[in-house]
Amino acid sequence: MDELNPMGESHSSRKKNLAILLIALYGFSVLAAVVILWRGGLRTKESNGGASAISLLAKRKKEAVGWVSIHGPIFESQSGRIWDLGVQQWVHRLNALAEKPEIKAIVLDINSPGGSVGSVQELHDQIAKVRKQHKKPVVALFGDVAASGGYYIASACDKIVAHPGTLTGSIGVIFNVTNVQGILAKLGIKMDAIKSGKHKDIGSPTRPMTPEEKQILQGLIDDAYSQFLAAVSEGRRMPLEKVKPLADGRIYTGRQAQSMGLVDALGGAEEAVQLAAQLGGIKGKPKIVREVDALDQFRSFLETEFGRLYQVDGEAVKVALMEKMERWGQSSLEYRWVNSW
């Protein structure tokens, strides 16, 4: 039998071993998901390293502030991966915290450029539901970026806290249409669409858009824009005539936004938690409770421990690039600052 030599292992052998490993990990993730769903999906993690939720059932729980981090673009999951839940992960965590009687207020840690109109509105509506049905105040904390849809969801909160240098604003709607007709022509490829109506392929990347089609899409933009303005006006208690001049798509710093009434206070995590505790009637230093998805740790494990295996064959770069190109190639209404993420 030949002696194994890892350093001399062939390229195909490495790929085969990697494939076997990934299949095994995927199987494990499926099993983990089944167990999580059977046991209730989420578990509570307290910032002071205290006992688990199970051990606390036997004694009175201390009043606390819930914490939900909303980081990255806000979209429905499109990867098909079992651990990628898209906007649903945030809706689930927010709702799970709201249903806990010991949670008296919630902080939303937002670091996002926004996302698709539907996903942003779903998260916005869930925040409004928490405030109305559960009677629990919600405070938004802006990180580096809380623009467009990131600001939209914050408008549903009781208060907004931002760093002086936070980038926010970008109130508006965008609908990107990619045209690849020139590239296809150079490759000798021509696309023909057989359609039921003249507008069935509106936004097609393989032909120029007609003036009539641009007018139709502008109507969609205008309607979604009016919904954005209404959400900000209602949430911030500002007249529409005051909101509209601020909503031409430009971005602001946190300090500028505060001077315009788009942000309530300047500060960081400590200020946001204190404000939430005050609104929730909590006396003294509040405990912070987060909802932790068990698959988060498994996902981090894959990204850190096995990330280098992807890099051996450049697969990580290929997958990331293909997913990004797929996103770019899709046309959708977005409350998103396009110069971020």
Residues belonging to the active site: 148, 200
User: What are 289's two structure tokens?
Assistant: 């409770």
- What CA–CA distance (Å, rounded) separates 150 from 110? 7
Neighbour tally for 23: CB within 10 Å:
10
- Which residue is listed with tokens 């509209």? 244
- What CA–CA distance (Å, rounded) separates 246 from 31? 49
Query: Which run of H or E residues covers position 17?
Result: helix 11-39
- Which residue is listed with tokens 């049905």? 133
DSSP summary character for residue 61: P
- Nearest CA-CA partner of 115 in 74, 154, 83: 74
CA angle 21, 23, 24 (to 5 degrees): 65
User: What are 298's two structure tokens?
Assistant: 């498994």
The contacts of residue 83 (CB under 8 Å, 6+ apart) are: 29, 33, 295, 296, 298, 299
